[in-house]
Amino acid sequence: MFRLFFLGIASVFTKVVHAKKSVFMPPEASAYAHEADKLYAFILNVSAVSFILIVLFIAYFCIKYRRKTLNDKTPHLSHNFKLEVIWTIIPSLIFFFMFAWGWKLWNQARYAPKGALEIFVEGQKWSWGFHYKSGRTSINEVYVPVGKPIKFILSSKDVIHSLFLPAFRKKQDAVPGRYTSLWIQPNKKGDYYIFCAEFCGTGHSGMMAKLKVVSFKEYAQWLSNDPYKGMSLSQIGKKVFNASCTACHNTNNTAKVGPGFGGLWASTKILTNNKSVVADSTYIRESILNPNAKVVKGFLKGVMPTFKGQLSEQQIRGLVEYIKGLKE
Ligand code: CUA
């Protein structure tokens, strides 16, 4: 009866955590994600069963050994050797089992197989830049082929960020001054979220990217494609803006982390040093590459990162053209 009851509870917990489509967990997009969930469900089940057992025993003993009369004496108890050995050995075995299982998975998670496809990832306030060995770069969007092991090599331009791939149950800090890495082997095509999981300042919650798992053919095509083929400068600018600027800037004139860009073009702005500047292409270009040179009054210096080396001339020209067209 008791056994059935616990098994029932355990199976409900397993269903909740470990169902194919769980309400509580993100999708599983790799074999590792499935394994990690199994271990997680096991630990959760053991904890749930122990919790229930302990609470039931507390309640049972409260009733059984309550003081029945005013003169009720506490019985003299010393110990029970057999019982103590059992409640030491059984939990220890369970803990060692958890440890061994976790260790095995951790090793699997840590070390990328030889021949994994390497992609460089650079975190900065507040976007993710991706650099392929072919020279292709992208911001906040990364294409990978399905079924292949992929190794992300992380670095950071400013502070500690953390690359978090919930659908792959993996997370790794990107630390300034060193390389760290994380590998995945996606087994399902689709779009998956990449978050920053280390509080890195005002725009932290907007530091998101998309992982696109596609067929090898689509991936190869994307790698060799000119991302701006057939696009006008302002269309290019819009694309760059949406990928790199929206975490901090609005397209109307409401300020976010930084100023809104609606109506900015050709307007006169007062700077922190009380001088004025006309927002022309030279000023916008300078503010993208050397953002602290001329900061508009009311905004803080040092908040905006430089995009030097991140954006090409074509992308900067595109941004200028796009901002030109933004109305209040
Ligand atoms: Cu980068 Cu939080």
Q: Give the distance (Å) from ligand 1 centre to CA of residue 197.
A: 6
d(CA 120, CA 111): 16
Give residue 23's identity as a one-letter amino acid code.
V
In this structure, the residue with its CA closest to atom 1 of ligand 1 is 161
d(CA 31, CA 168): 9
> Which atom of ligand 1 approaches the CA of 162 most closely?
1
Q: Are 194 and 167 in contact (CB under 8 A)?
A: no
> Which atom of ligand 1 approaches the CA of 174 most closely?
1
Q: Give the distance (Å) from ligand 1 centre to CA of residue 158.
A: 10
Q: Looking at the chain, which runs of residues are DSSP E strands? A: 117-124, 127-132, 137-139, 141-145, 150-156, 161-165, 170-174, 180-184, 190-196, 209-214, 268-270, 276-278
Model pLDDT, residue 1: 46
The verdict on the CB of residue 238 being under 6 Å from ligand 1 is: no
> Which atom of ligand 1 approaches the CA of 126 most closely?
1
CA dist list (Å): 160 to 81, 120, 262, 290: 52, 16, 32, 22
The verdict on the CB of residue 163 being under 6 Å from ligand 1 is: no
Residue with tokens 């194919």: 20
d(CA 162, CA 170): 10
> CA angle 48-65-56, nearest 5°?
10
The verdict on the CB of residue 139 being under 6 Å from ligand 1 is: no
d(CA 46, CA 327): 59
Global pTM? 0.68
Q: Give the distance (Å) from ligand 1 centre to CA of residue 130.
A: 15
* Tens of each residue's pLDDT in the chain, 328 residues: 444 454 455 555 555 555 556 677 888 888 999 999 999 999 999 999 999 999 999 999 999 888 888 888 877 888 899 999 999 999 999 999 999 999 999 998 989 998 899 999 999 888 899 998 887 888 889 999 999 999 999 999 889 999 999 999 999 999 999 999 999 999 999 999 999 999 998 889 989 999 999 999 999 888 887 777 778 888 888 988 888 888 889 888 888 888 889 888 888 888 888 888 888 888 888 998 888 888 988 888 888 888 887 788 888 888 988 998 888 7
The verdict on the CB of residue 122 being under 6 Å from ligand 1 is: no
The verdict on the CB of residue 123 being under 6 Å from ligand 1 is: yes
CB contact set of 55 (below 8 Å; sequence gap of 6+): none
